[in-house]
């Protein structure tokens, strides 16, 4: 296996006959300044999407869509952080399938299967989706440290279910639902404080991981490679995050696509993922946004890790942002 260090601009340009994308001076400037990228204005999740859209990813009925909109809008009016809205939607998905049902275990009713006998209100009150959503959030906000809990732990702290881990399987779709809401307060947040737990790690971590990826330019593509001497497309992402002190819970481009919060074309930010080469099982390739219009990737056998420009429309690209729920903090690599 050949091992090469990161190449400078001059050697990259000189080797342009081997790499079909010319590295320009603007690319060089991007590489040299990547560690100092300022992401303080990263927007939260997808923009300008109506609930129920999202490329067919949501697959909700009209009833489920309406109930999800109520849950999210109530949370927005109460100034519940975006992560709290994800907890609420995931809970309702598990408890009622996002349906406002008038029956359940013992005297449980409604979206969250709240029980009149346990002080949640009367049956009539609980069957009002806005009332039951408000009650859920009131209880959630009283749980100490809920924002640092996993979604399933926060939901269980409120619900005290006999199946405490069941909420976890709904987290990814709940993220998609909240992210696609046009009325839930996630259209554009010019501060990471409200959405960091849901959508992306702190800005210095995001720019740092991109910087590590850029330093691998010129190293060979190796199928299954996760560095440091060679990488496949997703392996480059896994390795770069590992250098920043995060171990990803997913490995392949398909898995990354499944858990990512969708980001609209034109709204992608530094550190977001780009998915391409879609087949029945999902995308066959994943890349990293350096800045809109520019990416870094481990392309395929015979082509080294490289920086190139991209055109989302002509290349049929989709964008996503990894939630921190898919990352485990570990010791930062040297």
C-alpha span between 248 and 242 (Å, rounded): 8
Least confident of 74-83, 126-135, 277-286: 74-83
323 has pLDDT over 80: no
pTM: 0.48
User: pLDDT-based confidence at 317, cuts 50/70/90?
Assistant: very high
Higher pLDDT, residue 183 or 9: 183
42 CB burial (10 A radius; 0-12, 13-18, 19+): buried
133 has pLDDT over 90: yes
Share of the chain above pLDDT 70, in %: 74
| Chain centroid to CA 87 | 15
CA-to-CA separations, 126 to 58, 111, 132, 162, in angstroms, rounded: 26, 8, 5, 20
C-alpha span between 263 and 323 (Å, rounded): 12
pLDDT value at residue 269: 82
Q: For residue 104, give the DSSP letter.
A: -
145 has pLDDT over 80: yes
Least confident of 17-21, 48-52, 69-73, 125-129: 17-21
Given the structure tokens 């009131």, which residue do they identify? 138
Higher pLDDT, residue 24 or 167: 167
pLDDT value at residue 286: 97
Least confident of 6-20, 59-73, 315-329: 6-20
Residues with Cβ within 8 Å of 126's Cβ and at least 6 positions away in sequence, in order, are: 109, 110, 114, 116, 120, 132, 135
Coil, strand or helix: which one is 131? helix
pLDDT value at residue 300: 94
pLDDT value at residue 58: 63
278 has pLDDT over 80: yes
Q: Order of strands, edge to edge, in the sheet holding 294-297?
A: 261-263, 318-321, 273-279, 282-291, 294-297, 306-309
C-alpha span between 111 and 94 (Å, rounded): 9
User: pLDDT-based confidence at 47, cuts 50/70/90?
Assistant: very low
Mean pLDDT, residues 273-290 taken together: 91
297 has pLDDT over 50: yes
User: Would you state the structure tokens that stand for residue 278, as one six-digit string?
Assistant: 């879609």
pLDDT value at residue 29: 42
C-alpha span between 9 and 139 (Å, rounded): 56
Mean pLDDT, residues 15-19 taken together: 28
176 has pLDDT over 50: yes
187 has pLDDT over 60: no
pLDDT value at residue 8: 30
238 has pLDDT over 90: yes
pLDDT value at residue 276: 95
Most confident by average pLDDT, 40-49, 55-64, 166-175, 289-298: 289-298
30 has pLDDT over 60: no
155 has pLDDT over 80: yes
Mean pLDDT, residues 43-68 taken together: 57
| Chain centroid to CA 106 | 37
Mean pLDDT, residues 287-310 taken together: 93
C-alpha span between 181 and 198 (Å, rounded): 14
pLDDT value at residue 81: 80
pLDDT tens for residues 82-118?
788 889 999 999 999 999 999 988 899 999 999 999 9
CA-to-CA separations, 143 to 92, 156, 186, 332, in angstroms, rounded: 18, 10, 23, 31
pLDDT value at residue 82: 78
């Amino acid at each position: 296996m050949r091992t090469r260090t990161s190449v400078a601009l001059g050697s990259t340009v000189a080797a342009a006959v081997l790499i079909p994308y010319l590295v320009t001076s603007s690319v060089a400037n991007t590489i040299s300044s990547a560690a100092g990228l300022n992401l303080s204005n990263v927007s939260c999740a997808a923009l300008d999407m109506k609930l129920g859209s999202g490329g067919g990813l949501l697959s909700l009925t009209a009833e489920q869509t309406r109930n999800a909109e109520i849950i999210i809008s109530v949370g927005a009016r109460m100034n519940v952080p975006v992560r709290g809205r994800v907890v609420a939607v995931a809970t309702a998905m598990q408890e009622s399938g996002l349906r406002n049902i008038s029956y359940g275990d013992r005297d449980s009713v409604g979206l969250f299967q709240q029980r009149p006998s346990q002080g949640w209100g009367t049956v009539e009150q609980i069957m009002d989706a806005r009332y039951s959503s408000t009650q859920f959030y009131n209880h959630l906000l009283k749980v100490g440290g809920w924002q640092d809990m996993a979604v399933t732990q926060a939901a269980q702290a409120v619900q005290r279910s006999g199946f405490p881990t069941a909420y976890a399987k709904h987290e990814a779709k709940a993220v998609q639902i909240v992210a696609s809401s046009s009325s839930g307060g996630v259209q554009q947040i010019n501060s990471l404080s409200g959405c960091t737990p849901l959508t992306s790690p702190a800005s210095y971590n995001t720019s740092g991981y991109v910087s590590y990826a850029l330093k691998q330019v010129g190293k060979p593509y190796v199928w299954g490679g996760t560095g440091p001497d060679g990488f496949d497309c997703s392996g480059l992402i896994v390795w770069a995050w590992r250098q920043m002190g995060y171990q990803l819970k997913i490995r392949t481009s398909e898995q990354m696509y499944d858990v990512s919060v969708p980001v609209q074309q034109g709204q992608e930010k530094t550190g977001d993922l780009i998915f391409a080469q879609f087949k029945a099982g999902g995308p066959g390739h994943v890349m990293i946004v350096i800045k809109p219009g520019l990416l870094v990737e481990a392309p395929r056998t015979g082509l080294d890790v490289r920086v190139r420009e991209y055109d989302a429309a002509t290349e049929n690209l989709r964008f996503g942002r990894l939630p921190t729920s898919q990352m485990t903090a570990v010791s930062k690599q040297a």
